[in-house]
Amino acid sequence: MHDPIKSDRFPGYDVLSKRAGPSWNDQTRRVVAERLSISSDPRFFNPEEFETVVAVAERIVPQPKTRALIPVAALVDDKLHKGKLDGYRHKSMPRDGDAWRLGLRALDTEAKAAFGERFHQLEKEKQDAMLERMQKGELKSKAWGDMPSDAFFKARLAKDIIMAYYSHPVAWNEIGWGGPASPRGYVRMDLNERDPWEAAEVKDGNIDAAYRKNRRVK
């Protein structure tokens, strides 16, 4: 069930109000429907790997409990299951799926060595500390093989998680984005101009004015 975000910046705006209107074409509707119905059961990761992905995603993009949660880990899993690749990779990195499996295994190995528990079992402060060390390339267990921990963080882990987050309509509501502008496009292109089918942001504290505009966005 869809539960639109209660946005302070774009009150009353719900990008899914465009679903049946002229802003989206059939391809956009199909893609959005797939993302909204994403399975919570992993098909690429095994259950232990998926636990770690969920825990990492919660630290990279923590979400408020006041609106529907974006299934970030499931979106990453779906991308890898379907073999959707970037088309390029860093010379120090294995293929995307292989890099993820290696990185998750190494992260759990490092967590056990440092704290005696797997990553998802650690307190949030310890999880953040480990991710910060990974970002700096300070995790150097043999479990990483030839893949530098900082390369994994930058080229795969953080990138894939953030892209998964912002691929979802709940995040689009959060930033006032209308989804792909096909076939409608944009007309008012000058600075600070807004087309009627775009989200209205609160200006000068006037929440009611933005709310009224956003209730008419289709």
Which distant-in-sequence residues (6+ apart) come within 8 Å of 186 by Cβ? 195, 198
Residue type, 42: P
Which distant-in-sequence residues (6+ apart) come within 8 Å of 124 by Cβ? 59
Q: Is the pTM of this model over 0.85?
A: yes
Residue type, 116: G
Q: How far from 4 is each of 66, 126, 182, CA to CA, in Å?
A: 10, 32, 22
Phi, psi of 183 (to 5 degrees): -100, 0
Per-residue pLDDT of the chain (218 residues; tens, 9 = 90+): 344 445 689 999 999 998 988 889 999 999 999 999 999 999 999 999 999 999 999 999 999 988 889 999 999 999 999 999 888 888 889 999 999 999 999 999 999 999 999 999 999 999 999 999 999 999 999 999 999 999 999 999 999 999 999 999 999 999 999 988 888 888 888 888 888 889 999 998 899 999 999 888 88
Q: Could you tell me which residues are beta bridge partners of residue 24?
A: 183
- How many Å apart are CA 19 and CA 91, to the nearest integer? 41
Residue 26 burial (10 A CB sphere; 0-12, 13-18, 19+): exposed
